[in-house]
């Protein structure tokens, strides 16, 4: 009877095992590098902390992250003292009020009141019009005549003196002792020398005269409401007013009388 021989695996050649050995060697080198690497000290994890909303806000305000180009910087949040905040608020309020006043002044110069309100003794503001005993509608011709008489009478005078001249005309307009219109007040005989010598028609009102008239129409008063006369003691040929009226004040070269 024939005996069968068992199959045996043929040993592999050394050349066939070389690639496998190289792979094993690379793995060993990597593991060795891991073992040689320095180990950081182990630290226990911090326990979780519950914060109330108040504590969270306090910590959040204590330090804030300020992000800028090129990096992030930690910046402590600064608490602005109340006194500083109040000072800033007052400054802002003052600036706003100043701007409002300037705006109102510009508006009054560009659009002087169309209606004047008078009591028996003074020119009233618009807010006081309920006290008025008389009102007067101001025309464009009235405004131009006022600008011309101010320019003709007070061209070289200070701004306050220009307003005062316009005040005198408006005071006469209110008084029962003078004509009832601005034109008639200005052209009343023997009252204003620029009317007599023709200067009134030759002058061209400058910016300051225009502004002075607008301010006077808006209620600005450089002299009192009972001031009806003015003259220059250096230039006047007739000093009757100076000797017969009560002196009120002097502005520039003009003396004003009640």
Note the pLDDT tens digit of each residue in 161-172: 999 999 999 999
Per-residue tens of pLDDT for the chain, all 258 residues: 444 444 545 455 555 566 666 776 776 776 666 556 555 555 555 555 555 666 655 655 654 444 444 444 444 445 666 666 666 666 666 665 555 544 444 444 556 788 999 999 999 998 999 999 999 999 999 999 999 999 999 999 999 999 999 999 999 999 999 999 999 999 999 999 999 999 999 999 999 999 999 999 999 999 999 999 999 999 888 899 999 999 999 999 999 999
pLDDT in tens, 100-125: 544 444 444 556 788 999 999 999 99
pTM for this one?
Answer: 0.59
Return the closest-CA partner of residue 138 out of 186, 100, 170: 170
Does residue 115 contact residue 136 with C-beta atoms inside 8 Å?
yes
Q: Are 214 and 166 in contact (CB under 8 A)?
A: no
Per DSSP, helices labelled H in 37-118 are 53-62, 82-110
Domains and CATH numbers, the chain: 139-257 (1.10.10.2520)
């Amino acid at each position: 009877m024939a005996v069968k021989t068992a199959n045996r695996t043929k040993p592999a050649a050394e050349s066939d095992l070389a690639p496998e050995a190289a792979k094993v060697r690379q793995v060993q080198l990597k593991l060795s590098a891991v073992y040689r690497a320095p180990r950081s000290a182990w630290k226990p994890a911090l326990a979780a902390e519950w914060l109330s909303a108040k504590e969270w806000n306090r910590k959040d305000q204590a330090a804030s992250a300020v992000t800028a180009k090129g990096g992030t910087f930690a910046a402590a949040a600064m608490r602005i003292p109340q006194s500083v905040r109040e000072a800033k608020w007052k400054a802002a309020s003052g600036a706003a009020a100043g701007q409002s006043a300037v705006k109102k002044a510009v508006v009054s110069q560009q659009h002087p009141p169309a209606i004047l309100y008078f009591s028996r003794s003074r020119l009233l503001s618009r807010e006081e019009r309920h006290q008025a005993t008389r009102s007067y509608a101001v025309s464009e011709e009235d405004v131009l005549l006022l600008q011309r008489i101010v320019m003709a009478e007070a061209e070289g005078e200070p701004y306050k003196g220009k307003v005062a001249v316009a005040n005198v005309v408006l005071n006469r307009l209110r008084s029962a002792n003078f004509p009832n219109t601005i034109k008639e007040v200005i052209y009343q005989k023997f009252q204003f020398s620029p009317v007599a010598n023709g200067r009134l028609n030759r002058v061209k009102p400058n910016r300051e005269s225009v502004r002075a008239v607008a301010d006077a129409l808006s209620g600005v008063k450089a002299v009192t409401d009972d001031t009806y006369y003015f003259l220059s003691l250096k230039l006047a040929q007739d000093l009757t007013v100076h000797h017969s009226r009560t002196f009120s004040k002097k502005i520039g070269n003009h003396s004003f009388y009640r």
